[in-house]
């Protein structure tokens, strides 16, 4: 993010200088897709694109927040939080304030400017980044507000589930809170136990934004979720997490064929996450790439959440020398894919995608080579060296 632009916009809007900067990253998921709401395993990493709030505390209960992207100022009193019209950007901010207040926290108002370089609506969790950056802005404005990363992630998820109305799992908010530079994060979405896993040097995760709109994303997402819950009920387990691939193979005739395929994706994907962590720890990058490929194929064939644009991006990436694996990332139905590439091969990957993807889809891809970054922090602008992160659990 261009910090000077944000600081200048703040001065222009409020006529004085901001005193704090709060930020939170977007994410890609390396592997472990559609497993979080099945109590399963995920392996996301926070990316070096983030939502940022520059701000200054106020002495009253008023929050003013100017969005650079929407060129619009939101003003509200913490005593009267009301929804705007459907799909309004402010719901992520209002939802976080509402969740914090409902959890019993006392908050102070602030003046702020919000900017983000996480592409919006592309499946890189721009919304979780805004939610966590807002939480950090409240932490900067309210000295008594101390949150652990798990609390922060849960509050942000509550904002999304209850205020925005999307029944997402916890992965996006957790990685925005807990990301670590140079690492992916293995998260057990049942126990919320998590551990950083170092990423290999010499390789780059390249985000391929298909530029295809995410058609039907939220209705189809909720439908997949319901199908998984139904499959778990029919198998008599609390969640698909509790079924091994072997058990499912034995019992799959107990499920209608569609549910059997959905379940097969989830149980094998959980296993792939564990294998991916093992591969990373053993320095076996080729194996990680192979697992990413299997994950995509399963999401395309069994879970049916890929799209022609995602498949085209993945196929072109895989056909490039030095690309070890490629898959869709996030909910699917459009949005982004990722490719794991040897650093030296990133230019060739870019050339291939720019040459072949438009021919196959009529769309121009946007490419973002990314690196793993830290989760949400805030700092005073006169003390840039003292970063405040969320408090250890
Ligand atoms: C979206 C949701 C996450 C997760 C992924 C699929 O990003 O917000 O909770 O379910 O889809 O893995």
- Shared domain for 50 and 150, answered yes or no, is yes
Number of domains in the chain: 2
167 plus 270 within the same structural domain: no
273 lines ligand 1 (CB under 6 A): no
| Same-domain check for residues 31 and 118 | yes
Range of the domain at 50: 3-198+376-389
CB 124 within 8 A of CB 28: yes
Say if residues 48 and 69 touch (Cβ distance below 8 Å).
no
Integer Cα distance of 135 and 153 in angstroms: 9
Residues 187 and 234 in one domain: no
What per-residue confidence (pLDDT) applies to 279?
98
What would the mean pLDDT of 202-208 be, rounded to a whole number? 98
Hey, which bits of the chain come out as E strands?
Answer: 20-31, 41-57, 62-67, 72-77, 110-116, 183-188, 194-198, 203-209, 323-328, 336-342, 366-370, 377-380, 388-389
With a 6 A CB cut-off, is 34 part of the ligand 1 pocket?
yes
Q: How far is the CA of 173 from the centre of ligand 1 (A)?
A: 10
- Residues 320 and 351 reside in one and the same domain: yes
Q: Which residues pair with 348 in a beta bridge?
A: none
- Chain segment 140-152, per-residue pLDDT in tens: 999 999 999 999 9
Q: Are residues 131 and 39 in the same domain?
A: yes
The DSSP string of 36-75 is GGGT-EEEEEEEEEEEEEEEEE-SSSEEEEEETTTTEEEE
For residue range 237-291, list pLDDT tens digits in order.
999 999 999 999 999 999 999 999 999 999 999 999 999 999 999 999 999 999 9
CATH number of the domain that 217 lies in? 3.30.70.890
Residues 163 and 16 reside in one and the same domain:
yes
CATH of the domain at 190: 3.30.230.10
- Element containing residue 259 per DSSP (H, E): helix 257-281
Q: What pLDDT is stored for residue 392 in this prediction?
A: 60
Active-site positions?
A: 172
43 Cβ inside 6 Å of ligand 1: no
Q: Are residues 92 and 208 in the same domain?
A: no
Position 385 scores a pLDDT of 67
Residues counted in the chain: 393
The residue to which tokens 């006169």 are assigned: 382
Percent of the chain with pLDDT over 90: 88
The residue-averaged pLDDT of 194-213 equals 96
The pLDDT-based confidence of 217 (bands split at 50, 70, 90) is low
> In sequence order, what are the beta bridge partners of 116?
51
pLDDT digits (tens, 9 = 90+) for 294-305: 999 999 999 999
Is the same domain home to 358 and 264?
yes
What number does the ligand 1 atom closest to the CA of 125 have? 7
Task: Say whether both 185 and 236 belong to one domain.
Answer: no
Determine the atom of ligand 1 nearest the C-alpha atom of 42: 12
Does residue 260 sit in the same domain as residue 383?
no
Average pLDDT of span 174-195 = 97
| Full-model pTM | 0.93
Q: Which of 156, 217, 225, 331 to mutate to test the pocket of ligand 1 (most atoms within 8 A of CB)?
A: 331
Same structural domain, 43 and 176:
yes
**Alpha helix (H) residue ranges in 15-163:** 90-102, 126-141, 149-158
With a cut of 60, say whether residue 393 has pLDDT above it.
no
């Amino acid at each position: 993010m261009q910090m000077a632009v944000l600081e200048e916009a703040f001065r222009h809007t409020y006529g004085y200088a901001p005193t704090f900067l709060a930020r939170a990253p977007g994410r890609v998921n390396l592997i472990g897709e559609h497993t979080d709401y099945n109590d399963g395993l995920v392996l996301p990493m926070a990316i070096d694109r983030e939502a940022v709030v520059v701000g200054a505390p106020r002495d009253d209960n008023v929050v003013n927040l100017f969005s650079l992207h929407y060129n619009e100022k939101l003003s509200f009193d913490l005593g009267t939080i009301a929804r705007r019209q459907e799909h309004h950007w402010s719901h992520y901010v209002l939802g976080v304030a509402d969740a914090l207040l409902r959890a019993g926290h006392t908050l102070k108002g602030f003046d702020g400017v919000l900017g983000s370089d996480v592409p919006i609506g592309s499946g890189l969790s721009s919304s979780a980044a805004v939610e966590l950056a807002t939480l950090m802005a409240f932490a900067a404005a309210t000295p008594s507000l101390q949150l652990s990363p798990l609390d922060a992630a849960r509050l942000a998820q509550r904002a999304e589930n209850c205020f925005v109305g999307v029944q997402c799992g916890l992965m996006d908010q957790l990685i925005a809170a807990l990301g670590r530079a140079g690492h992916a994060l293995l998260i057990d979405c049942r126990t919320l136990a998590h551990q950083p896993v170092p990423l290999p040097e010499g390789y780059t995760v390249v985000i391929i934004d298909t530029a295809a709109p995410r058609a039907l994303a939220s209705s189809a997402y909720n439908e997949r979720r319901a199908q998984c819950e139904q499959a778990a009920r029919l198998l008599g387990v609390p969640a698909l997490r509790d079924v091994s691939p072997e058990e499912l193979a034995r019992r799959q005739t107990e499920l209608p064929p569609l549910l059997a395929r959905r379940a097969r994706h989830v149980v094998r994907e959980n296993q792939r996450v564990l294998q991916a962590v093992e591969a990373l720890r053993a320095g076996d990058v080729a194996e990680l790439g192979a697992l990413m490929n299997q994950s995509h194929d399963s999401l395309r064939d069994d879970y049916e959440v890929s799209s022609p644009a995602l498949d085209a991006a993945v196929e072109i990436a895989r056909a490039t020398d030095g690309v070890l694996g490629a898959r869709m990332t996030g909910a699917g139905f459009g949005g982004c894919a990722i490719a794991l590439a040897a650093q030296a091969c990133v230019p060739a990957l870019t050339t291939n995608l720019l040459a072949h993807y438009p021919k196959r889809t009529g769309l121009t891809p946007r490419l973002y080579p990314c690196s793993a970054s830290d989760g949400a922090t805030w700092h005073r602008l006169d003390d840039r060296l003292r970063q405040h992160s969320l408090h250890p659990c």
